[in-house]
Amino acid sequence: MIDLSVEIAGIKLKNPVMVASGTFGFGKEYASLFNLSKLGALVTKGLTLHPRPGNPPPRIWETPAGLLNAVGLQNPGVDFFLSEILPAMKSFEVPIIANIAGFTIEEYTQLASRLTVPGITGLEVNISCPNVKAGGMALGAVPELAAEVVEAVVKATSLPVIVKLTPNVTDIVALATAVTQAGAHSLSLINTLLGMAVDVNSRRPALGNITGGLSGPAVRPVAVRAVWQVSQAVDVPIIGMGGICTSNDALEFILAGASAVAVGSAHFRDPLAAVKIIEELEQYCIENGIRDWKQIIGAAWKGQN
C-alpha cells in the first residue's frame, strides 16, 4: 500500500484529504455511509461561544458549477458540542479539527481554551465567514486585526492552530504573512467568495441573508491561485480547498503548493467524494511510481526555478 501520510503543524494525517467545515456537519450524518476513519481529518461545522440559530431561509442557491450559501454559522454552541457531540465523535477514530468563529478576540480565545481537550486534534480559526455581520470576515480581511486574533488564539491553546483565510481581499499574501508571523501553524485556503443572486421570479434577493458565500468547482481557479501565491510566500503548510471534486482537482492544489486538501461542496453531489479521491490518489502514486508523494507538493512552482 502507498503511504499517503502527511504531517500538518504536528498533526499526523494518514492521508492528505480532509472534509471541509460546514459541509459535513459533525460527521454523524455520514457515519453510516462509509468508515470515517478513512479520512485524513474531519473539520467540524463552525463553533461559536453561544448557540446560534443561523440566518433566515432560503440559505442555499445554486449557481453555475457551484452554490451560494448563507447558513450564518448555525450551531449549538461550544458547551453543547463538548458535552453532547464530541464524545460520540470519538468512535469515528478520525482526527477532529474544531472550526471556531468568534465575534471578538475575547470570544476566539475563550473558544480556543475550552476546546483544548483530549479528542480535539487541532483548531481551524475561521476568520473568513462572509455570512455574519461582526467578527468572521470583518476581522479576517484586515491583516493587523487578523494577526491580533491569531496571536491571542495561539496563546490560549496548546493545540496546532490552522488559520482559515478569506479570498475576499486584494492581497491574500499580505494577510497570510501577517497571520503566519503572529504564530499560525498552518493555513486553510480558501473560505467562500462573497456573492449574491436575484430570483427573477420573486424579483427579490435569492437568499434570506441577501449575500452569501460561493463555493464549488466555480471557485477552484481562485483557490488554486491563492495556494500558488501564498505557498511561495510563507513557510507553514497549506490546506487547499475550493471546488475539489476529483483526485485531479486535489492534485492541482498539491502541485500548486498545498500539503493537504479539504473536500467540501463536492459531497452534495457525491457524498463519497472524499473517499474516492483518497483511493484515486493512491492509484495515481502507484501509476506514476511516486514513492513519497510529498515530493510533488508545490512542484508546479518548484519546477520553475
Considering the candidates 67, 129, 165, 169, report the single residue annotated as catalytic.
Answer: 129
Binding-site partner at residue 164 among other proteins, ligand FMN, none, CB < 5 to 8 Å by type: ligand FMN
Of 15, 44, 48, 69, the residue at the interface with other proteins (CB under 8 A) is: 69
Q: Which of 82, 271, 299, 301 binds other proteins (CB under 8 A)?
A: 271
The count of C-alpha atoms lying within 13 angstroms of the C-alpha of 149, restricted to the half-sphere facing its C-beta, is 33
> Is the distance from CB of 157 to CB of 115 less than 8 angstroms?
yes
Residue whose grid cell is 500558488: 228
**Is 183 in contact with 142 (CB distance < 8 Å)?**
no
* Residue 170 identity: T
The option from other proteins, ligand FMN, none interacting with 58 (CB < 5 to 8 A, set by class) reads other proteins
Burial 246-268 (b: 16+ CB within 10 A, else e): bbebbbbbbbbbbbbbbbbbbbe
Angle (CA) 246 252 256, round 5°: 155
Q: Count how many Cα atoms sit within 13 Å of the Cα of residue 17 in the half-sphere of its side chain.
A: 28
> How big is the site for other proteins, counted in residues (CB under 8 A)?
36
285 is catalytic: no
Please choose, out of 58-66, 85-93, 98-106, 112-120, the segment that lies near other proteins by the rule CB under 8 A. 58-66
Select from 51-59, 100-108, 119-127, 288-296 the region that touches other proteins (CB under 8 A). 51-59
Query: Quick check: 185 binds other proteins (CB under 8 A)?
Result: no
Residue 53 as a binder of other proteins (CB under 8 A): the answer is yes
Binding map of other proteins across residues 231-260, x = CB under 8 A, - = no contact: --------------x---------------
CB 77 within 8 A of CB 51: yes
Helix H or strand E encompassing 103: none
Q: Which is nearer to other proteins, 10 or 221 (CB)?
A: 221
Query: Crossing angle, helix 143-156 and helix 105-114, to 10 degrees?
Result: 30
Grid coordinates representing 187 are 493555513
CB-neighbour burial class of residue 287 (10 A; exposed 0-12, middle 13-18, buried 19+): exposed
Question: 199 is in the binding site of which of other proteins, ligand FMN, none (Cβ under 5 to 8 A by kind)?
Answer: none
Residue 237's binding partner among other proteins, ligand FMN, none (Cβ under 5 to 8 angstroms by kind) is none
The reply on whether position 59 binds other proteins by CB under 8 A is yes
Residue 265 binding other proteins, by CB under 8 A? yes
Query: Of 1, 32, 203, 303, which one interacts with other proteins (CB under 8 A)?
Result: 32
Please report, as ranges, the residues that interact with ligand FMN according to CB under 6 A.
20-23, 45-46, 69, 71, 73, 99, 126, 129, 164, 191-192, 215-216, 219, 241-244, 263-266
Give least dist CB 157 to ligand FMN, A: 17
- Residue 161 identity (one-letter amino acid): V
Under 8 Å CB-to-CB from 89, ≥6 apart: which residues?
26, 27, 28, 42, 96, 119
Q: How far is CA 59 from CA 62, 133, 210, 269, in A?
A: 10, 16, 9, 17
Contact residues toward other proteins (CB under 8 A) are 22-25, 29-30, 32-33, 45, 53-54, 56-67, 69, 71, 74, 216-217, 245, 265, 267-272
Known catalytic residues are: 129
